[in-house]
Amino acid sequence: MSSQDRVEKAGAGIEADVVRLNERISSNSADQADYEIRLLEALLFAAVEPIDVETLRERMPEDCDVGALLARLQRDYAGRGMNLVRVANRWRFQTAPDLEHHLVDVREAPRKLSRAALETLAIIAYHQPVTRAEIEDVRGVAASKGTLDVLMELGWVRMRGRRRSPGRPVTFGTTEDFLAHFNLETISDLPGREDLKGAGLLDPRLPKDFEMPTPMMPDTLTDSEDPLEDEDEQEFFEDFLDDNENETELD
């Protein structure tokens, strides 16, 4: 599904929810509906991180339609300085994209990653669950000791489990913080082959049989993975620090 199709589908869903809410408002007290909108707005504004629908339902009146209320708020804030957006199946207020450059002096400067870290992050996002050896095979070079460490420190990558193969290597995947940072509702919103080609990020002379993997972020372990053991994380970092450094990590 193209980006335009996803936008149109989301817009149609929002309009349907708003129509449903308006029908409900016409049959119930306008004061009650106004109270529910205000309460939802306050909960979203006060949240220190994106909040999921289940948590909102727990805090809202039992008979209210949280989905329709979210759709109405999203539409009401669409043209304002703050927008209500959904990232990683959670909701939050954020600065309108066209105003972000005005806040450059008052927001924290992002940490600049090396090319090696960006390439590793992209491989994990598109190929997860993936092992360190598989990352190195795609990149064609050995991973330096700090690349995965930096990505996990940022909270964008996590250890998932162990591959059911000789040596039982650790598998890696992205996190919900990764989705939130890059404003992705789901991992499938990552750009596809045509999107990347149109942006000039893929060589136009790619072979005809070139295929890009379909991004997936399974919450549970796949059939090829075993659970991590309690000591795995500590052992991983100790082993990782013993490797020889092959690349410069941060600019």
For residues 178 and 211, membership in a common domain is answered with yes
Residues 223-251 have pLDDT tens digits of: 889 998 755 555 554 444 444 444 433 33
Domain boundary among 72, 103, 134: 103
Which of 56, 77, 103 delimits the end of a domain?
103
Residue spans of the chain under pLDDT 50:
107, 237-251
Residues 95 and 120 in one domain: no
The pLDDT, as a whole number, for residue 234 is: 52
Q: pLDDT (tens digit, 9 = 90+) per residue, 163-191?
A: 999 989 999 999 999 998 888 888 888 88
3-state secondary structure of 193: helix
- Global pTM value: 0.56
Contacts of 133 by beta carbon, 8 Å cutoff, 6+ apart: 169
Tell whether 120 and 78 lie within a shared domain: no
User: Domain check: are 126 and 223 in the same one?
Assistant: yes
Q: Note whether 141 and 190 are within 8 A (CB).
A: no
- The reply to whether 250 falls in a domain is no
Q: Check residue 129 and give its pLDDT.
A: 92
CATH number of the domain that residue 79 is part of: 1.10.10.10
State how many domains the chain has: 2
Residue 135 belongs to domain spanning: 115-241
Quote the pLDDT of residue 249: 39
Burial of 36 per CB tally in 10 Å (0-12, 13-18, 19+) = buried
